[in-house]
Structure 1
Amino acid sequence: MYLFFIMGAILLASTISRLVIGIPINWALEMSQFLLSAYYLLGGAYALQIDQHVRMDLFYSRLSARRRAVTDAITILFVIFYLAVLFGGGLSSTNYAIVYGQKNYTAWAPPLWPIKVVMTTGIFLMLLQLISTFIKDVAIARGKPIA
């Protein structure tokens, strides 16, 4: 949650620097993009954990708890597959960034490995949380909920 405030402070400092002093900060936009990526990916697993993800609720709320669990278990399998592929790509991309010292093609040219590590970690945490949620949904669908 605090990353959002840091990002806001960076963007505010950039705006003040550009408009008042007349000197743009060339790293501000890029750093705020990195922070937003970290905020989004690390917050995703937490939102799953506290069951606060947004659902398209046309019929879902009318289903019984067991049918909701079956529906969730089926759809979670697709998301687990997607995140597993994304995690594999993230590992490969992070390894490349570390081994070859990959930098972004901008005037600031920051190294990309720190944000790639954070993004891959966020994907991994979301994958773990989805596996946990899948196991709980299967237990509910079987009529033996896990406390």
Structure 2
Amino acid sequence: MPRFIVAYVRYVEAFNRAVGKFAMYLILLLLGILLYAAFSKASTDISPIWTVEMAQFTLTAYFMLGGAYALQNNALVRMDLFYSHWKPRTRAIVDCITIIGLLIYLAILLYGAVISTHYTFEIGQRRPSAWQPYLWPIRTIMSIGVLMMLLQAIATFFKDLAIARGKPIE
């Protein structure tokens, strides 16, 4: 593989690994928010209005920012009827073909996410609830997460292509 492709794969994987490891700690933030809500409800019989939506936003950030890291580590669900019995080269060839569908899906999803984020910034959209938080922070995180997934899918394609050619990228 050309050096710039190897550099691209290494850079994208290092970035997604760092962001993914950060995203793992968001589950602790989510736990803290939910515990605060539970203790507030138990002690004062009033649950703060922001806790449910903040928990939803935190879970969304956890999911979206961790997706590329999950793809990088092959931690996604896969139909494994024949796949596990194939040789690594055969798997790589099949993955090179099937990842094209993922790339198309992620490109369309990114387009929609960017348009949605732009619209949210443009009109200052808020969530229609009692708390009424702005939606631009979570929409921005969602767009970044989809972009990271797309970049990781491209890196995965190059890694599989290198395996199919018999010269894996380390």
Q: Report the TM-score when normalising by structure 1.
A: 0.95
* SS of the residue 1:19 aligns to: helix
* 2:52 aligned residue (29, 34, 40): 29
Indicate the RMSD between aligned Cα atoms, in angstroms.
Answer: 1.1
Count of equivalent residues: 147
Question: Equivalent residue for 1:63?
Answer: 86
1:35 partner letter: T
1:66 partner letter: R
Deviates more, 1:88-97 or 1:44-53: 44-53
Aligned mates of 1:10, 1:146 — CA distance in 2: 41
* SS of the residue 1:106 aligns to: coil
* 1:73 aligned residue (76, 96, 100): 96
* SS of the residue 1:36 aligns to: helix
Aligned mates of 1:73, 1:32 — CA distance in 2: 37
How big is the shift at 1:53?
2.5
Q: Is 2:112 aligned against 1:89?
A: yes
Q: Is 2:71 aligned against 1:48?
A: yes
* SS of the residue 1:131 aligns to: helix
Identity of paired residues, percent? 51
Aligned mates of 1:105, 1:111 — CA distance in 2: 10
1:44 partner letter: G
1:106 partner letter: S
Aligned mates of 2:42, 2:97 — CA distance in 1: 52
Question: Equivalent residue for 2:131?
Answer: 108
How big is the shift at 1:59?
1.1
* SS of the residue 1:104 aligns to: coil
* 1:1-16 matched pairs, under 5 angstroms: 1-16=24-39
Question: Equivalent residue for 2:40?
Answer: 17
Aligned mates of 1:52, 1:23 — CA distance in 2: 39
Aligned mates of 1:80, 1:21 — CA distance in 2: 50
Contiguous gaps of at least 5 residues in structure 2: 1-23
Per-residue CA deviation, residues 78-125 of structure 1 (Å, 9 max, x unaligned), is 111111101000000000111110000111000000000011001001
* SS of the residue 1:12 aligns to: helix
Aligned mates of 2:116, 2:78 — CA distance in 1: 31
How big is the shift at 1:143?
2.3
Aligned mates of 2:77, 2:35 — CA distance in 1: 30
Question: Equivalent residue for 1:125?
Answer: 148
